[in-house]
A and B are shown apart, each in its own frame.
Chain A
Amino acid sequence: MTPRDTASDRLRDRIAARFESPALRWGGIGLILVLMAVLPAALGQYATVIMTNALLYVVLALGLNVVVGFAGLLDLGYAAFFAVGAYTIGILTLDFGVNFWLALPVAVLAAAIAGVIIGGPTLRLRSDYLAIVTLGFGEIVRFSARNLAITGKASGLSGIGQPWLFGWHIATPTDFYFVFCALAILAVVVSLRLENSRLGRAWLYVRHDEDVAEAMGINRVAVKLAAYVTGAIFAAIGGAFFAANLGAISPESFSFTQSVLILMAVILGGMGKIPGVILGAFIVILGPELLRNLGELRLMVFAVMLLLIMLFRPSGIWPKRGVRS
């Protein structure tokens, strides 16, 4: 334990330890699933829409977590991949009449290619240069979406249709809520699998010491690129369903602020820790809704929180689990 641990940390650790018991853990997961299922009926449409947004952020934040939390790369232009996913769906379904489910893999592929194009040459750079390059890339994507006719220029695209799935027309807010529930669960499962995989351990080594990792035979650039592309794929899937849900997308949805909000979700809860990132996503979305009268101060509160967390609790709000030495 680090000396910074307080009584509250120990309490959280103890609660967390309780969940080590399989029965309780599966019970907990079952309870969460039941709560997720009954939420729309219990809380009404407004809460459903807000929760849908929060679940979208869970997907995005888990994707960015692969880049920032697992591989230790600061990405300040993550919204660009979100945009690539959303615009690919918009363009293919509107201009070319492609079915949503056929356009989805194209969107994923497009984001992966974008990840390789921008990541390939830049991942060798120092981490602060990489942060600026990703920021620049994010702005280039947003400016291009604003200037090109095919992306609808500044007004964006509207009238994006909603998909059918085996005779189920995903159209109402509740339908989309369940779709995003499924996506969030999928994102959590994939993240857990990745974390415990060979690749996950390679990320861990690279994050802690690149030189040692390389000496151990890990291909530094390839491993970083894998993180980058994985993150891009998460964002593209989130973006695709975001476009279908809203029906209209415009460059403002993919600004630098969007990238920063997703990054905040990753860091507030505790980067690298999956439950922490989920918590962070909920804080970023539900916080301002619960504190409506905060208004302008919303980002301010987040910024101060971010600063305080970096200074006093760099591991995030979620408790450190299993760090006992």
Chain B
Amino acid sequence: MKVLTKAATAGALLALMAGTSVLAQETIKIGVLVPTTGSEATYGQDMANAVTIAQAEINKAGGVLGKQLSMVVGDDACDPQQSVNAATKLVSQGVVAVVGGYCSGATLPTLKIFGDAKIPFVITAANSTKLIPANPGNAFMINSTGDDQATKAVEFLGAKGIKSIAIVNEGDAYSQDLATLTQKSWEAAGNKVVDFETVNKGEQDYSAIVTAIKAANPDAVFWTAYYADGGLLIRQLRQSGYQGVIAVGDGSNSTKLFDIAGKAAEGVFAFSNPTAEFLPAAKDFTATYNSQFGTAPGPYAPLTYDGMELIADTMAKAKSTDGAALITALKATDSPGWLAGAIKFTDKNTLARSNFIVLVGKDGAWARADQ
């Protein structure tokens, strides 16, 4: 009896040390690779929160294969070197699948690590097209890629009767990729890119570029990078009297754009992956998120929630937690999805449909522009 108590105490202690529940031996570990420190920490934390909600719901409904799910967060700090460390740590902690991936640059070198370990990786935010050729076959992107966004941008601006555009990027992997892709498909559609500019992050003064843009006189300006500098550019464009259309990519889909650009952001179009406020299926999720974390879900929360659900669902269907079996099962996914719509993959493991929507700045907030 005494021995038993001792063993139980030791087990409980061990479980506590591992930071999981008493049933530690019985759980299936899922890795969450997101930046929880650094400049992108807000997004990473948001994604981790979404996984927390999904995990709790799955466990409440009885878990998967008779076991509970537990999550292990790896902080990639949006930095390629740190992400390698974090990914290796996840592998050595025995996770059976990984969900997450926010910064494309930091996600890229981890593909090989999870690939070598035969661990499926569901990427829920990072969407640079550079990830596709680097994928050893174990990664699945449930966010639409830069290609889809460029296509959407060309479609939408074309439908507005716009003939000439200026494209401005910030010189980082994500925005340069989107800028080049848009330039290609815009020109392929027989239109003109009259100005292509690169600014530096945190530069503040974009007046010289604004003058160059005004001199080229495009019908529209497309900013492909993040809200922080985008807000400044939009403000300076409008201050200088530019009257044309301004559109921004999904990296600028933040209400903070309105804080920085002020009134200048009214009427700005944004291409965006589906966010919770525009997803009818995400009502309960939004409520849960709000009550649990005291704030509204961020831009990648629904997709990340779906990523976790997808992993659980696939494990249940494959009746296995074996990496190779899961990868095969994921390839065959044909699911109506959870919050953000149907999931089905192309032969390159990218989402088979484009999930981009168009928003417009209205009274200091985003509203749907394409409905």
Residues of A that sit less than 8 Å from B by CB: 44-46, 49-50, 53, 146-147, 153-156, 158-159, 172-173, 246-248, 250, 252-253, 289, 292, 295-296, 298
Contacts and interface: CB of A to CB of B under 8 A. Distances in A.
Interface string B15-48: 0000000000000000000001110010000000
23 contacts: A44-B92, A45-B88, A46-B85, A46-B88, A46-B89, A50-B85, A53-B85, A154-B171, A154-B173, A154-B175, A155-B105, A156-B173, A158-B109, A159-B133, A159-B134, A250-B108, A252-B79, A252-B80, A252-B172, A253-B81, A295-B36, A295-B37, A296-B37
Contacts of B175: 154
A211 to B, nearest CB: 41
A296 B38 CA distance: 6
Contact of B75 (A49, A155, A159, A292): A292
A248 B177 contact: no
B112 A153 contact: no
Contacts of B108: 158, 248, 250
B172 A49 contact: no
A153 B176 contact: yes
A246 B84 contact: yes
Contacts of A147: 171, 198
Contacts of A50: 85
Given A247-B112, A250-B105, A154 B176 contact: yes
Contacts of B68: none
B104, B173, B175 — most chain A CB neighbours (10 Å): B173
A75 to B, nearest CB: 21
Contacts of A46: 85, 88-89, 91-93
Contacts of A53: 81, 85
Interface of B: 36-38, 41, 75, 79-81, 84-85, 88-89, 91-93, 104-105, 108-109, 112, 116, 128, 130, 133-134, 171-173, 175-177, 198
A220 B92 CA distance: 52
Nearest to A257: B79
A172 B84 CA distance: 13
Given A45-B88, A252-B172, A296-B41, 17 more contacts: A46-B88, A46-B89, A46-B91, A46-B92, A49-B85, A49-B88, A53-B85, A146-B171, A153-B176, A155-B104, A155-B105, A156-B105, A247-B109, A250-B80, A250-B173, A252-B79, A253-B81
The 8 closest A-B pairs by CB, nearest first: A295-B37, A155-B173, A154-B176, A46-B92, A49-B88, A46-B89, A154-B173, A155-B130
Nearest to B91: A45
Contacts of A154: 171-173, 175-177
Nearest to B108: A248
Contacts of B172: 154, 252
A248 B113 CA distance: 12
A100 to B, nearest CB: 17
